[in-house]
Structure 1
């Protein structure tokens, strides 16, 4: 029986591993992007209805979040179109919202559903630094890191059950798993933390994405130094799975020459 279970799990892992079009590495993927985007739309709408959304029409910070996000989304679309990888963003319908919440947090669900918390703004301090954060979160979504975490959760908790079965049999647990996989709420980084490889990729591509959108990627260094300082013994929610440290800053500096190739300052 034990050998049968082991063989079953190996088969799931073999079948569920796909090559990511963005990063090129193999990832566990038991849930389709279409399914995740559908679930994301529902969960995003629920989250917005239960939290205080800052009106971008009357608030300059909310307008800034939307402006940065729109520029990054446009830059990413052009980048992948030029590489013949248009399908990377299939189904994406971008939304960018600022939430009145004191936590230092931001996240992006599948399909480009982005939220920034007001508690993050005193740390980012300027538009370019916030662009680095939004680029980082979008990179997690585009590289399907959350999909991998969701797949890991299904494998660990529900034995590799399909998403539809998981939702039907344990809807609350599955929805909580989804929210945790995408860094929403206070449990981020506790149940299904991003791996160091995922964080490094999000740092790297987030740097590129913000630079492509016309934001100076060199702002990332001071940003992560402020992130580390803001955390003290406990990192901000945004960094709970991978605290900012010298290694992260060193990696950013390593990717900086490539990021600067993409950087063309915005015309004011």
Structure 2
């Protein structure tokens, strides 16, 4: 019986896939994207405007100028097909060690990050990584993936109820956990690795020192003080995994940096 249920769910999912737009990521990975770039840009702008109201914006001119300087070198190497307008950057006054970029040309950096990203090159690695998510349209892909999973789970639930399957709630809970661990978490880790590689290339093309991306993750590891979820149950690869991936691709990045026409000199 479970096999027939699975096949029915699969049929629903496949039908949805055929109706969706498929494409390829910058690293050559197949992607499913159900939403248009305009839709994502509007969502990004609305979310960013809300954050500027709800969160404290830093008034420290030095921090703002420094972060804007680094970001400007990164964003000039973003293809116009991704965003061809003026990027908006805001520094938020918050101790969290984080940054983000949104469709529609929005970048947010938290002041806590500036205590861990110790120089312009390490900050460029973070901003390049976050912009890499936008370039690869990971937000679109995550939303599309969630939509399809939702359709599949709803179909399964209806089939279980129609056939009056015993312990249907327990089965649904098991399927949900299996999807999270078996699909969504590895999916997110794939995005993080892809953004690392895109960010590495971006910072190198912008004239920053790509080797500092490795130093950044050493700093991140120290800052976490060992309080990390195991990689298997995390949406992010471990710092050690990220350092290994970056190191393997460092030679190509160094070649790009050696050829770069830019020579950033952003100081705080």
Which TM-score bucket, shorter chain as reference? 0.7 to 0.9
1:45 alignment partner, SS class:
helix
| Alpha carbons of structure 1 residues 119 and 153: separation in structure 2 relative to 1, 3 Å | same
**10-19 or 38-47, which moves further after superposition?**
10-19
Q: Which runs of 5+ in 1 are unaligned?
A: 78-85, 162-191
The match for 2:23 is 19
The match for 1:66 is 68
| Alpha carbons of structure 1 residues 73 and 149: separation in structure 2 relative to 1, 3 Å | same
Distance across 1 between alignment mates of 2:77 and 2:222: 31
2:53 corresponds to 1:49: yes
Question: 2:238 is matched with which residue: 244, 256, 260?
Answer: 244
Please report how far the alpha carbon of residue 219 of structure 1 lies from its aligned counterpart in structure 2 after TM superposition: 0.6
Distance across 2 between alignment mates of 1:48 and 1:135: 22
TM-score (normalizing by structure 2): 0.75
Q: Spell out, residue by residue over 1:3-33, the C-alpha distance to the aligned partner (whole angstroms, 9 max, x if none).
A: 5553221111233351235232211212112
CA radius of gyration, larger in: 2
Distance across 1 between alignment mates of 2:70 and 2:153: 38
| Alpha carbons of structure 1 residues 209 and 32: separation in structure 2 relative to 1, 3 Å | same
1:1-268 superposed matches below 5 A: 2=5, 5-20=9-24, 22-55=26-59, 59-77=61-79, 86-87=80-81, 89-90=82-83, 93-157=86-150, 193=185, 195-235=188-228, 241-263=235-257, 264=260, 266=263, 268=265
| Structure 1 contact 19–27 (Cα < 8 Å) conserved | yes
The match for 1:172 is none
The match for 1:185 is none
Distance across 2 between alignment mates of 1:125 and 1:267: 15
Aligned CA RMSD, in angstroms, stands at 2.6
Distance across 2 between alignment mates of 1:153 and 1:21: 18
Distance across 1 between alignment mates of 2:212 and 2:246: 11
| Alpha carbons of structure 1 residues 254 and 9: separation in structure 2 relative to 1, 3 Å | same
Distance across 2 between alignment mates of 1:97 and 1:220: 22
Distance across 2 between alignment mates of 1:121 and 1:266: 21
| Alpha carbons of structure 1 residues 235 and 65: separation in structure 2 relative to 1, 3 Å | farther
The match for 1:165 is none
Distance across 2 between alignment mates of 1:38 and 1:44: 10
| Structure 2 contact 21–33 (Cα < 8 Å) conserved | yes
TM-score (normalizing by structure 1): 0.75
| Structure 2 contact 193–237 (Cα < 8 Å) conserved | no
Distance across 1 between alignment mates of 2:111 and 2:264: 27
Q: Which runs of 5+ in 2 are unaligned?
A: 155-183
